[in-house]
């Protein structure tokens, strides 16, 4: 009986570990599809802290699965957020200098956030140094439209609400970006999923055998 209890405990623990690994894999692995990209950009400089970003619109819903920060002058971790038209922060994260780079941006995966058709603002912290502007050769996903650059002076991540009216080119300051799509599991996650399913099946079979053994015993019966 003691051996059966130990086996059950091991199976439960292993299945729980597999389930945890599965959830972590789904959260961390994303296919990066940038909302926009560019062929080349200029570089400007400032020493003051800002939140730099831009306003954009969507004509159809999208699911944001990662937030991006420019690789130009990217020497420390920075925060990126998206606000709706009323100034409510919908999602934010910290992009690390060790996060994967796709194109001109480093991306930090987030839990999927669906943006309905409408107008939004994206911005990122900036602590001084070079920043990209006057981008050319810009391409974007269907339904996405850049509206105007937005910025706000001061430290920390804030809803940028001040526009320069095109002072940094037709595509503004390309400091931040976002990716659309959905989180996908890595190959290792699929392996853990199969392991978890196998362990769960083994646990159910063990319980069934234990249940049948208990039904055959009566109080007072000889062991």
Q: Is the dihedral of CA 46, 49, 54, 55 positive or negative?
A: negative
**What pLDDT is stored for residue 30 in this prediction?**
81
204 vs 187: CA distance, rounded Å: 26
**What pLDDT is stored for residue 92 in this prediction?**
98
132 vs 144: CA distance, rounded Å: 20
Q: Cβ contacts of residue 104 below 8 Å, gap of 6+?
A: 37, 38, 41, 70, 71, 72, 132, 174
Per the DSSP assignment, residues forming a β-bridge with 38 are none
Cβ count near 178 (within 10 Å): 28
Boundaries of every domain in the chain: 2-28+185-213, 36-180
Closest-CA residue to 55 (of 206, 191, 180, 165): 165
Q: Is the dihedral of CA 114, 117, 118, 119 positive or negative?
A: positive
Residue 135 has pLDDT above 70, yes or no: yes
- 89 with 81: CB under 8 angstroms? yes
- 201 with 80: CB under 8 angstroms? no
Q: What is the mean pLDDT of the chain?
A: 81
176 vs 150: CA distance, rounded Å: 11
Residue 207 has pLDDT above 90, yes or no: no
Query: Which CATH code for domain 36-180?
Result: 2.60.120
Q: What is the pLDDT of residues 160-200, one digit of tens each?
A: 999 999 999 999 999 999 999 964 444 444 344 444 545 44
Confidence of residue 208 (pLDDT cuts 50, 70, 90): low
90 vs 79: CA distance, rounded Å: 14
User: Taking the C-alpha atoms of 71, 173, 126 and 124 in order, what is their torsion angle to the nearest 10 degrees?
Assistant: -90
Residue 50 has pLDDT above 70, yes or no: yes
Lowest-confidence region among 12-21, 119-128, 175-184, 189-198: 12-21
Q: What is the pLDDT of residues 81-116, one digit of tens each?
A: 999 999 999 999 999 999 999 999 999 999 999 999
Q: Cβ contacts of residue 223 below 8 Å, gap of 6+?
A: none
Confidence of residue 73 (pLDDT cuts 50, 70, 90): very high
Q: Which residue has the higher pLDDT, 167 or 28?
A: 167
**What pLDDT is stored for residue 29 in this prediction?**
61
The whole-model pTM stands at: 0.73
């Amino acid at each position: 009986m003691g051996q059966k209890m130990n086996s059950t405990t091991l199976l439960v623990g292993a299945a729980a570990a597999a389930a945890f690994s599965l959830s972590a894999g789904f959260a961390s692995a994303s296919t990066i599809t940038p909302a926009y990209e560019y062929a080349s950009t200029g570089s400007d400089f400032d020493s003051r802290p800002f939140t730099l970003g831009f306003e954009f619109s969507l004509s159809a819903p999208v699911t944001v699965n990662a937030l991006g920060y420019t690789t130009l002058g990217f020497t420390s971790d920075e925060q990126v957020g998206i606000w709706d038209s009323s100034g409510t922060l919908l999602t934010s994260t910290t992009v690390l200098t060790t996060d994967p780079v796709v194109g001109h941006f480093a991306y930090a995966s987030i839990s999927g956030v669906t943006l309905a058709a409408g107008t939004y603002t994206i911005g990122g912290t900036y602590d001084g140094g070079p920043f990209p502007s006057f981008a050319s050769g810009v391409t974007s996903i269907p339904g996405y439209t850049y509206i105007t650059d937005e910025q706000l002076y001061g430290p920390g991540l804030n809803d940028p609400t001040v526009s320069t009216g095109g002072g940094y080119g037709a595509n503004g300051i390309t400091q931040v970006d976002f990716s659309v799509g959905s989180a996908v599991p890595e190959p290792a996650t699929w392996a853990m999923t199969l392991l978890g399913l196998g362990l769960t099946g083994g646990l159910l079979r063990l319980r069934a055998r234990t249940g049948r053994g208990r039904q055959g015993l009566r109080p007072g019966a000889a062991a």
